[in-house]
Amino acid sequence: MANAKTQRRIERVISSHPSQDGDGVKINRLHDFEGGLDPFLMLDELGSDQPDDYIGGFPPHPHRGMQTLTYVIHGGLTHEDHLGHASTIHAGDAQWMHTGRGIIHSEMPLTDNQGLHAFQLWINLAAKDKLSPATYRDVRSTEMPRLAGHNAGLIALGGTWRTTDGAQVEGPLDALAGHGGVAHVTLAQDSRLDLEQLSPTLLVYVFTGTATIGDQSVPSGQLARMSEGEYLPLTANEDTQLLLLAGTPHREPIAHYGPFVMNHREELEQALDDYRNGTLTG
């Protein structure tokens, strides 16, 4: 029974803040490059019905040492990279990029009748993987399994997710760094979803409505870092949507500069030198 399990409680709440990236794209950003969200680094929410807020997109730029996961709620994004990958994702789809030693890519936004609403998550790579070959994959909405609760639902992008009554799904993105898992949860008014989740790191980002976790409320635009435990009770008194991020910390030093995430400053300097002299990608 759920009440026999250790309930996960809110340890820390972080509020997103307005920012800009790429060619003036307006975003709401959460980040912690000090290890407080390990293995996760940053979560950007792109959301607007005004094309001028995002239409410039993200022209070609480099990355090294981390993974990105982009998930679209409305609109779409077109990805191109130096490896020859070219793909467009739409509402409900995701794209995953393992930057490894280095990748140069661009992401250009598309709109639908509700504008653009998407997320990009940065996941740190372990030191042993930071100079591994770069790879890319996209996943369509139809490939993502679902779980159902009481007027609630979960879409699994990656990782293993299970309810306390034993239902379980595994998301198609099975190579997320830090044994990562990502899910999109929808809670209708007066709904409930009881999850069993044992990953040491568990983050809840609410982006519509207000979620209640135990006896604490988390409004839209806030991320809650949960204590370790086994059981996560989610309820809502209004229509609510959130992302769940689960993983295992690397517990390694983090050195960050712009699009590069390494372990030490000299590795950042090497990445910058490699980019300038054209050897970043191999």
CA–CA separation, 209 vs 187, rounded Å?
9
Tokens 């635009």 map to which residue? Answer: 221
Q: Which residues contact 168 (CB under 8 A, 6 or more apart)?
A: 147, 160, 161, 162
For residue range 135-192, list pLDDT tens digits in order: 999 999 999 999 998 899 999 999 999 999 999 999 999 999 999 999 999 999 999 9
* pLDDT greater than 80 at residue 51: no
Length of the chain: 282
* pLDDT greater than 60 at residue 3: no
Helix (H) or strand (E) holding 233: strand 231-236
Mean pLDDT confidence for 34-58: 81
Tokens 């029974």 map to which residue? Answer: 1
CA–CA separation, 82 vs 138, rounded Å?
16
Q: Which residues contact 248 (CB under 8 A, 6 or more apart)?
A: 39, 178, 179, 199, 200, 201
Q: Which CATH architecture has domain 2-247?
A: Sandwich (2.60)
pLDDT of residue 115: 80
pLDDT of residue 223: 98
CA–CA separation, 268 vs 282, rounded Å?
16
Tokens 């990953």 map to which residue? Answer: 199
For residue range 196-250, list pLDDT tens digits in order: 999 999 999 999 999 999 889 999 999 999 999 999 999 999 999 999 999 999 9
pLDDT of residue 19: 85
Handedness of CA 244, 249, 250, 252 (dihedral sign): positive
Q: Which one, of 87, 91, 153, 144, lies nearest residue 117 by Cα?
A: 91
pLDDT of residue 35: 97
* pLDDT greater than 50 at residue 1: no
Q: Which residues contact 26 (CB under 8 A, 6 or more apart)?
A: 18, 19, 20, 46, 48, 53, 54
Of 27-31, 55-59, 212-216, the range with the lowest mean pLDDT is 55-59
Bond from prior residue into 39 cis (ω within 30 degrees of 0) = yes
For residue range 93-137, list pLDDT tens digits in order: 999 999 999 999 988 888 777 788 999 999 999 999 999 999 999
pLDDT of residue 55: 57
* pLDDT greater than 80 at residue 251: yes
* pLDDT greater than 80 at residue 23: no
CA–CA separation, 98 vs 133, rounded Å?
8
Identify the three-state secondary structure at position 121: strand
Helix (H) or strand (E) holding 265: helix 265-276
Q: How many of the other CB atoms lie within 10 Å of CB of 128?
A: 9
Query: Domain limits of the chain?
Result: 2-247
Amino acid (1-letter code) at residue 230: E
